[in-house]
Amino acid sequence: MTDNTESSIQSDSHNHSKNQLPPLPSSAQPLDCVYRLKGKVVGGFKRGSKQLGFPTANLDPAAFRSTLVNVPRGVYIGWAQIEGGPVYPTVLSLGLNPHFQTKEETVEAYILHEFEHDFYDQSMQLLIFAFIRPSYAFTSLQELIDWIQNDVEITKRVTQEPQWQCLRDDTLFSHAAISSTS
């Protein structure tokens, strides 16, 4: 499990003062290659739900270190499955959180579904297929929240498109369902 990939990790996070921020995005760019990840849901700083109102299921770092080496960091759209259950739309943050000056990279999924309980320690499969934007440091928490809300709206729209619906049937998800019932 040694890897010397740290130096080649792409850093696409930017520090912008308010008037340097680009306009809010209104669309996403499809990826040439989709990314499939699976691992356990681990704990983080507990900021997602409490401070932002967007809980994010954090993926065990062991599950993405080697896969995402050359993937630009930022905000992405995908599909998520917990413990072999239904496949839901998700919006993800990959890499550092420049607004909070974090030092460790994370893969965090805000899943567009209302869950009754937390699901720490359960298995999560993620299939990532479109890029929305790099991550930024904002001038206020409210601005970060507004940008995340915009990402969520884009995600709701894009995941309705027929070209992405078929990825819900990806073998990543059917394998998980089989193993979770055996």
What's at 156, amino acid-wise? K
DSSP per-residue letters across 49-75:
IIIIS---EEEPGGGTTTTTTTSPPEE
Q: Which of Mg ion, ligand RBF, ligand ADP, none sits in contact with 167, Cβ below 5 to 8 A by type?
A: none
Question: Does residue number 135 form part of the binding site for ligand ADP (CB under 6 A)?
Answer: no
Q: Which of ligand RBF, ligand ADP, Mg ion, none sits in contact with 43, Cβ below 5 to 8 A by type?
A: ligand ADP
CB of 108 or CB of 151, closer to Mg ion: 108
Burial 77-100 (b: 16+ CB within 10 A, else e): bbbbbbebbebbbbbbbbbbbbbe
Q: Which residue is nearest to Mg ion (CB)?
A: 56
CB of 55 or CB of 74, closer to ligand ADP: 55
> What CA–CA distance (Å, rounded) separates 78 from 91?
6
Which of the stretches 29-37, 46-54, 130-138, 149-157 binds Mg ion when contact is defined by CB under 5 A? 46-54
Question: Does residue number 159 form part of the binding site for Mg ion (CB under 5 A)?
Answer: no
Coil/strand/helix, residue 151: helix
The answer to whether 164 and 129 have CB atoms below 8 angstroms apart is yes
Tell me how far, at minimum, the Cβ of 88 lies from ligand ADP, in Å: 8
The answer to whether residue 83 is catalytic is no
